[in-house]
Amino acid sequence: MSENEKEVIDEETASASEETQTEENVSKEAEAANEQEENAEAKTKESAEKEQAAEEEKEEGGKLKNFKKKDKKLEALENQKKELEDKVMRQMAEFENYRKRTEKEKATMFEMGAKSVIEKMLPVVDNFERGLASVPQENQTDPIYEGMNLIYKQLMGELDKLGVKPIEALGQEFNPDLHNAVMQVESEEFEEGIVAQELQKGYMYRDSVVRHSMVAVAQ
């Protein structure tokens, strides 16, 4: 082989070696670029994930904040509801007390008015009894007497329906709540402290005294 041919072969070998080296360098540079790109993508992804996590955390914080606000509003509404319920209950209790007090006052006024009317009617009853007692036995078949007696019985019947009752006095133990003693008398029939005579009838209206019985008490 001539020297020229050796030189040509050496040049071709050197050229091939340079091309191979160049390809290796290009490949390494491409790998490095790919690695850098992958690292950049990874960083970008990591950054995006962090941003998303931060956004989600912010969103969760906002939701929690809104929930707390709603919870406070709900608590305020619940307190307002309780206050209104308490106010209504107090008003209902006050109204019930007012109603009971009014009914009691009305009943008391009615009792007072009824007692006043009955008290004014009692002298009429007394006069009927005196008039009927003054008629002799033989004249009690007279139509006038019978008519007066019927009116008296009707009057006493209506008073009885209203709750007016005569007070028992004769033969009863003297009771200052029911009887008005105007004298003391000697009596063989009754013991001491017993009502021996009833001078004027007393009357009760329901549970209260309209007029005390006027009596004489045995001594």
Cβ burial, residue 167 (10 Å; 0-12/13-18/19+): buried
Query: Would residue 50 count as lying in a domain?
Result: no
In this structure, are residues 200 and 181 in contact, taking their beta carbons and an 8 Å threshold? no
- In a domain, residue 157? The reply is yes
- With bands split at pLDDT 50, 70 and 90, how would you rate the model's confidence at 52? confident
Q: The tokens of 162 are what?
A: 């209203």
> Do 192 and 172 share a structural domain?
yes
**Would residue 4 count as lying in a domain?**
no
User: Which among 110, 123, 125 has a CA at the least distance from the CA of 160?
Assistant: 125
173 and 189 belong to one structural domain: yes
**Residue 132 shares a structural domain with residue 75:** yes
Average pLDDT value for residue range 156-174: 93
Among 119, 141, 162, give the residue marking a domain's end.
Answer: 162
Q: What is the pLDDT of residue 13?
A: 60
pLDDT tens digits, one per residue of 14-30: 555 565 666 566 566 66
170 and 143 in a single domain? The answer is: no
Q: What is the mean pLDDT of residues 182-200?
A: 92
For 165, the enclosing helix (H) or strand (E) is strand 164-166
Which residue in this structure is represented by tokens 């009914």?
Answer: 103
pTM of the model: 0.54
Residue 172 included in any domain? yes
Closest CA to 201 of 131, 134, 122, 135: 122
Domain of residue 174 covers 165-219
Tell me: pLDDT of 12 over 80.
no
